[in-house]
Structures are given as structure tokens and as C-alpha cells.
Structure 1
Amino acid sequence: MKSSEQDEVLSKHLIKNEVDTHTTLGHPVGLFVLFFTEMWERFSYYGMRALLTLFLVSEISKNGWAWTREEAAQLYAVYTFLVYITPLLGGIIADKITGYRKAVLWGALIMTLGHASMALEGIGSSFFYLGLILLIMGNGMFKPNISSIVGQLYPDNSAKKDSAFTIFYMGINAGAFLGIMLCGYIGEKIGWHWGFGLAGIFMFFGMLQFHYGQHIFGKLGETVKKTKERKEALELANKPEEEEEELPKNIIRDRLIVIGILTFFSIFFWMAFEQAGSSMTFFANDYTQRILVGSQAVAFKWVDAGLTIFPLILLTWVLGLLAKQIIKKYPLTIYFTALSFLIIWGIAIWKVLREFNALETEVTASWFQILNSFFIITLATLFAKMWEKVFNPSGPAKFAIGLVLLGIGFGVLAYGSRDIPQGALTAQVSMIWLILAYLFHTMGELCLSPVGLSYVSKLSPKHLVGLIFGFWFLSSAVANLLGGLSASYIDKISAAYSISVFFMIFTLIPIIAGVILLALSPWLKRMMHGIH
């Protein structure tokens, strides 16, 4: 279908659903309202996550809780497990009771209260735990339902849907990038409660800009009663077209087997990948040389300043384009988003100037977590072009490549830490090893994560899509739990063997899983029965 025909189909879809038809960068303005809402939510989530284990293991003299790394990793495991479990419940609540828009608003409000509670951790530990509970509950309401609204903006056959989710994905990574950088910096340099509180401020702004712009979405994501009535009317009008094509049972069975195998192998990937918030953060904090002097310090200051300022320039430009289209009709949405940007610009400029004036350059331990988002933003287009024009193996083969690349990343860490003595609790290893590890991990993620979501969608029978996606998220929850619990053994393995052996375990497991999956890929490709 030609571009002009696609635009016409999209326009009819928007008009039918009473959605605002103004566009920005060729997409409905509603996409960018969702973009900024999701950006601030990811800012708050990853900003808090960057600080969580660091705060727990920090000394009491530095206002931390002085937990052991084992205890901190175990709490991290439980927290991330529940974060991935609750979206299943949140999706059901939205489907049956609230509708998507109200679920997003309630989720954002609950998370705002969660961050506020964590900012009060100095008053008492109960506020900290209450904050975690509220964040888990709010995330469950927010995460699955905002993505659902993105999908509803476009007709099923729209070629623009893929690019819309790519733009939305960039919002996720932009928020994660800025949240880790700024909340992490303020939390480590100024005070933990300031970092936790900053995360909540921007979650609040995200909620306000969505609230005052929600009528842009017309009928999409409205209350369940209205949605049900509209669906019934649509089904009566289009029943022949809406019926699912009958497939032989063996084909359905084979495709479900492929989904099950890919889901199983994804657990090995995410179990290792999610070491970023636990053991890799411990490595950055305790084993990495983070004090820079001379030309290295100057170079880092300029690189860090560029990483802080340039994303904000691009995001401010996107906000300006959106404002031109909707400020007259939805002024409060733009005003609150602009106010949030004004605050974030102030914090960013303050941070840059503070670092340039500092006598000593110390890279924060949380800083390294921005590398994943940075590499995704810079490499995503390159990988897409590679799959399109150079090398495009089957989905299972891409999965296998992703697992191997992840293992190589941990191999880099194992090699870089080879000289750390057995049982050592601190060391001064070059930061290049951590940077390279994040590079390989991100390349692995780009091979596996988008492919996984795409194949689950393509291979699932239409009447089971929701259930199967639920199992996909369940596997991520299990992986996060296993990842956190395995990270809790870092001190025991280091004491018995070495920190290098600990990372070698995460080298071997993904690579072995990847080799097995690569061997299975020709069989799995046949089992997909034509799905590519």
C-alpha cells in the first residue's frame, strides 16, 4: 500500500474513533502525548532503580542502610519480580473495569505517591517499603495499558504501527537515560532522598500532561462499558472480516511449541541481562576505578556534558513540534510538559557546571547504567538496516546470537576482573571493561527483545494473544527473580573462587543456551510454518 493510501486509512481510523487528526512527524499527535507520558514514567522507574541497591549497601555514615550485597540483591530480586507480575493483573483490571486511560492515570498517581514515600525514607524504613509496594502496584496499572493505547491509535494493517512503536520505544529509552543520569547523580552526590524524590516529581508531570491531553484519544481507551458497546457494534458491522482464519491444529500446536521454546530461552537471557541493576552495579561501585584525573577527567566532563545536553535539545524540539499542533486546544498539556522540561534543563545545566567546577572528577556508580539506553538509541537503526539489507537470519537464530553476545559481554567483565584477588571486596579495575560489557549486552538485546515480541505476536492464534503475552511477561518476572537471587551469591562465589569466576558463570550459561538454540533453529523455523 502506498504512503498516501496508508495516510488515508489512518485518517479514517482516527476520525471513526474521534481521535485528534493533527499529526507530528507524520504520526497522530496522540502518539507524542503518550511518548512524553511514558518517557517521564521510565525516567522515574529507572532513576529509582539506579539508586536502589546502591542506597541499600551504602554505609550508614553516608545515609545508606549498610546492607550486605546479598541482602540488597535479594530485595532487588523480589521487587523486579513483582514489577513484571503486576502488569498481568493491571491489564485484567483495565479490560474488565477501568478502561485503559483511567488505568494509566491511576497507575501514574500511585507511582507518584510511591516515589514521594521513598523520598521520606530518612523518617523511617516503613516509608521506603511502602514506596516500593506503591511503585509495584502503580507499574502494574500503568505499563501494559499505555502500550495498548499506542496500538489502538493505528488500524491493524497500518504500516505506520511498527514505526510508531519504534518512536515510543525511543521515549522509553530517553526517559531511562535521563532518569539514570540525573536521579543517579543527585542521589549519589547530594542525597538518596533527593534522588528518589526527583523521580517522583517527573512522574507527577507525566500524569498531569496525560490527564489534560487525554481527550486527544477520543473513544480510545475509554471506560469498559463504552468500549464494549462500540466493539459489539463493530463486530455486527464487520463480522465476516473479523473472523480468524481457520488453521490446522498441528500448525497451531507447532507454532505454540516455538513460542514456548523461545520463551524458555528468553529466561536465560534476562536472568543474566538484569545483573545491570545488581551485580554489575556492585562491580561499578566497588571494583571500578571511577576517580579520573588530568586529560581523562577533562574528556569525561565533555562527554558527560554532551550526553546530558544533546538528548534534551532533541526532546525539546519534539515538544515544540507537538506544541504547534495542540497548544490552542490542549494548553495545559503543553504547559505542564514545558514546565517539566524547564526544570529538567535547570537540573542538567546545574549538573554540567558543577562537574566542570569540581576539583575531583568521580564518575557515579549509577552512571554506567545509562550506557544500555545510549547504545540502544545509537545502534537500533544500524541493526534494523543490517537485518533488512545485509544479514537477516531466522528469529530463533537471532535469539541465539543475542544470547551469545550477552555471554561475551560477561566474558569481558570476567577477563577485566581476572587480577582481582580471591575474596576482595574492593578493587580499581579500568571502566573500559564495564563499558564494553554494556555494549555487547545491548547488541544482544537488539537481537532478542524486538524479535521476541514480534514473533509472539505473529505466531499466536488471535484468540490467545493476550494469554500468551501474559506468559511472556511471566517469563520476564521469573528471569528477574532468578537474576536477583543469583546476584546475591556474588560475595560467596568471590570468597570461594573470585569475582572473575562469578562473571564467568554468566558468560557460560547464555553462550551454552545460545549454541543449543542455534542448533534447534532449523527445526524451529520449519515449525513456524511460513511465519518469518
Structure 2
Amino acid sequence: MSKTTTGHPKGLYTLFATEFWERFSYYGMRGFFVLYLTATLANGGFGLEKTEAYSIYGIFTALVYVTPIIGGILADKILGQRKSIYIGALLMAIGQFTMALSIYDAHDLFLTRHMSLYLGLGLLIIGNGFFKPNISTMVGGLYSANDPNKDSGFTIFYMGINLGAFVTNFIGGSLAENVGWQYGFMAAGIGMVISTIWFFMRETSVVSGETGLAVGMSPKDQGTEKNKLVRKDWNSILAYVAGLAILSYILVHLVINIDSDLLTDIVLVIGVLGLGYLFVTIFQNTTGSTEWNRVGVIFALAIFNIVFWSGFEQAGTSFNTFANEYTDRNVFGFDIPASWFQSINAVFIILLAPLFTIIWTKLTAVKANPRTPFKFAFSLVFLGIGFGIMAIANDTYNASNALISPMWLVMVYLFHTVGELCMSPIGLSMITKLSPPKIVSVMMGFWMGSIALGNFLAAQMTAISEHYQFDTFYFITVYAFVAAAVAFLVSPILTKMMKGIH
């Protein structure tokens, strides 16, 4: 009775809705965050220059991909996935409401505007680290290793991610831009509260479709009849939330008041130590020429992964401000909020992901499915085409000094989504196939790190192009096409190094 009539475990739909509301929360604030930072003080924003706002956004989104490495380790070794999800969800809810406080000049919580902003971001980063990797792990735990429904189960779950990303900007973005920034953050916070309550109410449904045992319990409770968390577990959860919130406050206070050069040195040291740990672990657990060749492919493809995300993540920075300032958003007398454009990618994912699944299956049947390195090369081509369109759109605006059609951005997002479908799911699948068996999780952490670096570079692209006096969109167009050419050239070599893995 642990399965539905569709053949999927009941817990899948619990996790689907939990993830839907969490993505509603995350993508909601992400959609208008740069607009909030660059809005004038008179309009409730921080009045930051674009490059400074992009930098804050880039650091935030980069760290969002780093902390899941730590959250995953703690869940595996100590907490279990369920407790980790509750800890992450509560921290993120508090983080969103703390962000809402940053709209006010003064309040009685010992928080300045900047302190509220950075503390909220810190809580979101830490909370995401506990939540994001573990809910995906629980989806996998619902199925046996050879269950034919496992892939389609993850597809259903992935739809929850994109449905949340699609819906949120119409609610949170509209509230933020048209009513008040704080209401956008509050909507995101309420979404996170709904996510937590839903998971709590449906917790007992998250059991393995094969064994009927609870999924995601702590190591000491795995394999037992225990199917929900008890008061002792909740005491532990609340202790973690309180401790991490206090730690976040202390760290943010230090970051705001510490010398910037010293802070840079500290971040550099932490980064070097983290990379050192990854490489030592990889070196110790990789044996034989076959494994080393495959690891070499992962390293090479990680470079192209960084290039792709450094362009793709312009969606939250330069594309966002372009939609806000240069795009004709008036349709039949209604001004479309700029943040709504952030939902276009999610719409195309929902429409095109099933089509791509069919395409890869058909190509496999006739032995014409491109190898992974070639798919990466194609993704960079689509990235370059999208930025080429964006550069022309920018020129069109500059030539006429008149707002341009929103269809320019729609076309850009279409090509970038096609590129994403050639890169993102393929890369995750590639890691599970090519990694040495003992360190699949470590290699996944390395891959997440490459995405984090891509997100950080995305925020620096405007500053880099301005420094060298290049047009940002033309610069990334050339950058993407050059990377694509290199990818096509090395793909035959990388294919051989994969040693039979497709």
C-alpha cells in the first residue's frame, strides 16, 4: 500500500509538493533580488550600482551550490535526510522573513538594513545546504536500485522544481515590484513555511516502495520500524536551527566589520583547503588508467560547465535589469513585472524536457545519440546563439532609444533552455557513470563546485567586459562560441578517455 495506482511510491508526491514550495520560495526572491538591490533608496531599495549588486547576487548563488556538500555529509553521517530537511526549511523560512526586515531603516532586533540583508542571505545559504541535497536523496531512496519507474519518478520530481520556479514570480515578483519589496520576501517565507508544514503532515508517507521502511532516517534509525520523527528529534532540530542562526549572526557581523583584504584572504584560504581536500580524496581513491582517464574527462568537462553557467546565470543579473529598463513590458495597458521573465526558462523546461527524453531515446535506438562531450559542445553553441540574439537586441535599443519587444528575451531564453537540457541533466548523469565507485559523492561535490564557480563568474562578466571596454553580450557570445569550438575539437579525445561509457 506504499505505492499509488501509477506505480510510484506515495512519498514521491509528498516530496514533489515539498520541493515545489521550497523552489517557490527560492526562485521567488531570486527573481527580484537584483532589482531590489539596484532600486533607489526612495523606492525602498539599496541604490547599489549594477556591478556591486551582481557581485552580491553571484556570491549568494555560488555559495548556494557549495553548502550542499557539507549538508550532504552531515545527513549521511549524523542527522539523516529528514532532520536535515526540517533544519534547512526552518532556516530558509527565517532567512526570508529576515530579508523582509531589510526594507526598514530601523527596528528593534539589533539589525541594521545591511545586517538584515546579509543575515537573511546567510540563513538561506546554510538552509539550502541542509535541504537541497537531501530531498533529492530521499527521492532516490523511495525506489529499489533496479526499479524501472525510478527515472520517471525523478522526472516527476523535476517538474515540481520547475513548476515552483514558474509560479513564484507571478506572486512574489508582483508583490515585490508593485506593492513592496518586503511583501515579496514575505511571500517567499510563507512558501517555505507551507513546504515545512506539508512535509510534517505527510512525513509518514515517505517510505520505500520496496521495503515499506521509512526513508531518510538518521543512521541509527535506518532499517527500524520508526516512521516519523519524535520529540527528541525535534529538540535536536530546534537546537541546530538556533545554533546555526546564532552562528550566522556572528559570521555576518564579522564579515560586515572585517577588513575587506583580510576577508578575501580568509575566503581564499578556505577555498584552497576545500579544493585540496577534494583533490587528495580523488587521488587516494582513483586507481588504474581507466579510472584516471574517466576522472580526467570529468575535469575537462567541468571547465565547459563553468563556461556555460557563467553565461546562463546572466538570467538573474544583466537579463533581469535589461527586462526592467529596456524592454516594453506594457501589454494591453498592463505593465508586466520584470521578474516575470524569470519564469520563461521554467516554462520551456516543462515543455521541452519530455521532448528531449524522446529525442535521446530515438537517437539511441538508431545508434546516433551524441556522446556526452559533444552534447556539452552543442550546449555552448546554443548559449552563444542566445547571447548573439541578446547583443542584437541591445544594439536595437541603443539605435532607437526605444523600448524593445519582450520577444527578444523569450527567444534568448528558448536557446538557453535548449543548451541547459544538453548540459545540466547530462552532466549529472555523467558524474554517476564516470566517477570511481568509492567517491561518487565527492565527485558530485566537485561538479557542484564547478557550477558555483560559474555562478560567481556570471556576476563578474559585466565588470570584466566594462574593464576591457567590451560589450557584455558580444563578449559572452564570442566567449561561448570559442569554448564550443574547443569542446568540439577535444570531444573525440574525451570520448576515447571515457573507455566505453556513453
Cα offsets for 1:78-130 (capped at 9, x unmatched): 11111111111111111122111100011001101111111222234122222
Q: Structure 1 residue 276 and structure 2 residue 318: aligned?
A: no
Cα offsets for 1:56-92 (capped at 9, x unmatched): 1112222212111111111101111111111111111
Residue number among 433, 442, 463 corresponding to 1:458 in the alignment: 433
Query: How many residues get paired?
Result: 425
1:229 CA displacement: 9.1
- SS of the aligned residue for 2:184 comes to helix
Instruction: Give 1:478's aligned amino acid.
Output: L
Residue number among 448, 457, 468 corresponding to 2:423 in the alignment: 448
Instruction: Give 1:227's aligned amino acid.
Output: Q
Q: Structure 1 residue 48 and structure 2 residue 87: aligned?
A: no
1:508 CA displacement: 1.3
What CA distance in whole angstroms lies between the structure 2 residues aligned with 1:181 and 1:473? 29
Given that 1:106 and 1:141 are in contact with CA atoms closer than 8 Å, whether structure 2 keeps it comes out as yes
- SS of the aligned residue for 1:227 comes to coil
Residue number among 21, 30, 54 corresponding to 1:73 in the alignment: 54
For 1:29, the equivalent position in structure 2 comes to 10
For 1:221, the equivalent position in structure 2 comes to 216
Residue pairs, 1:93-132, within 5 angstroms: 93-124=74-105, 125=113, 126-132=115-121
- SS of the aligned residue for 2:501 comes to coil
Are residues 265 and 490 of structure 1, via their aligned partners in 2, closer, same or farther at CA, if it must alter by over 3 Å?
Answer: closer
For 1:531, the equivalent position in structure 2 comes to 501
1:228 CA displacement: 8.9
Q: Structure 1 residue 520 and structure 2 residue 490: aligned?
A: yes
For 2:412, the equivalent position in structure 1 comes to 437
Q: Structure 1 residue 396 and structure 2 residue 373: aligned?
A: yes
Given that 1:70 and 1:490 are in contact with CA atoms closer than 8 Å, whether structure 2 keeps it comes out as no
1:285 CA displacement: 1.0
Unaligned runs of at least 5 residues, structure 2: 106-112, 208-212, 226-284
Cα offsets for 1:245-264 (capped at 9, x unmatched): x9971111111111111112
Percent pairwise identity: 45
Instruction: Give 2:404's aligned amino acid.
Output: V
For 1:285, the equivalent position in structure 2 comes to 324
Cα offsets for 1:287-310 (capped at 9, x unmatched): 112223xxxx2xxxxxxxxxxxxx
Given that 1:39 and 1:174 are in contact with CA atoms closer than 8 Å, whether structure 2 keeps it comes out as yes
Residue pairs, 1:224-235, within 5 angstroms: 224-227=219-222
What CA distance in whole angstroms lies between the structure 2 residues aligned with 1:455 and 1:527? 13
Instruction: Give 1:123's aligned amino acid.
Output: Y
Residue number among 459, 467, 485 corresponding to 1:484 in the alignment: 459
Instruction: Give 1:392's aligned amino acid.
Output: N
What CA distance in whole angstroms lies between the structure 2 residues aligned with 1:39 and 1:488? 34
TM-score, normalised relative to structure 1: 0.77
- SS of the aligned residue for 2:222 comes to helix
Residue number among 339, 343, 349 corresponding to 1:376 in the alignment: 349
- SS of the aligned residue for 1:276 comes to helix
Q: Structure 1 residue 475 and structure 2 residue 450: aligned?
A: yes
Q: Structure 1 residue 138 and structure 2 residue 138: aligned?
A: no
Instruction: Give 1:272's aligned amino acid.
Output: G
What CA distance in whole angstroms lies between the structure 2 residues aligned with 1:24 and 1:412? 46
What CA distance in whole angstroms lies between the structure 2 residues aligned with 1:55 and 1:489? 23
Given that 2:45 and 2:103 are in contact with CA atoms closer than 8 Å, whether structure 1 keeps it comes out as no
What CA distance in whole angstroms lies between the structure 2 residues aligned with 1:251 and 1:511? 31
Given that 2:286 and 2:292 are in contact with CA atoms closer than 8 Å, whether structure 1 keeps it comes out as no
1:489 CA displacement: 5.1
What CA distance in whole angstroms lies between the structure 2 residues aligned with 1:260 and 1:161? 28
1:51 CA displacement: 1.1
- SS of the aligned residue for 1:219 comes to coil
Instruction: Give 2:454's aligned amino acid.
Output: A
Residue pairs, 1:173-188, within 5 angstroms: 173-188=162-177
1:224 CA displacement: 2.2
1:421 CA displacement: 3.9
What CA distance in whole angstroms lies between the structure 2 residues aligned with 1:92 and 1:427? 52
Are residues 21 and 229 of structure 1, via their aligned partners in 2, closer, same or farther at CA, if it must alter by over 3 Å?
Answer: closer
What CA distance in whole angstroms lies between the structure 2 residues aligned with 1:415 and 1:247? 47
TM-score, normalised relative to structure 2: 0.81
1:176 CA displacement: 0.7
For 1:366, the equivalent position in structure 2 comes to 339
Unaligned runs of at least 5 residues, structure 1: 1-19, 231-245, 298-359
Given that 1:289 and 1:429 are in contact with CA atoms closer than 8 Å, whether structure 2 keeps it comes out as yes
For 1:198, the equivalent position in structure 2 comes to 187
What CA distance in whole angstroms lies between the structure 1 residues aligned with 2:297 and 2:334? 50
Q: CA RMSD in A?
A: 2.1
For 1:511, the equivalent position in structure 2 comes to 481
For 2:382, the equivalent position in structure 1 comes to 405
Given that 2:378 and 2:422 are in contact with CA atoms closer than 8 Å, whether structure 1 keeps it comes out as yes
For 1:265, the equivalent position in structure 2 comes to 304
- Indicate the larger mover: 263-272 or 176-185: 176-185
Given that 2:7 and 2:149 are in contact with CA atoms closer than 8 Å, whether structure 1 keeps it comes out as no
What CA distance in whole angstroms lies between the structure 2 residues aligned with 1:178 and 1:492? 37
- SS of the aligned residue for 1:225 comes to coil
Given that 1:115 and 1:135 are in contact with CA atoms closer than 8 Å, whether structure 2 keeps it comes out as yes
- Indicate the larger mover: 73-82 or 388-397: 388-397
What CA distance in whole angstroms lies between the structure 2 residues aligned with 1:185 and 1:273? 24
What CA distance in whole angstroms lies between the structure 2 residues aligned with 1:466 and 1:227? 20
Given that 2:286 and 2:436 are in contact with CA atoms closer than 8 Å, whether structure 1 keeps it comes out as no
Are residues 214 and 412 of structure 1, via their aligned partners in 2, closer, same or farther at CA, if it must alter by over 3 Å?
Answer: same
Q: Structure 1 residue 152 and structure 2 residue 133: aligned?
A: no
Are residues 258 and 489 of structure 1, via their aligned partners in 2, closer, same or farther at CA, if it must alter by over 3 Å?
Answer: closer
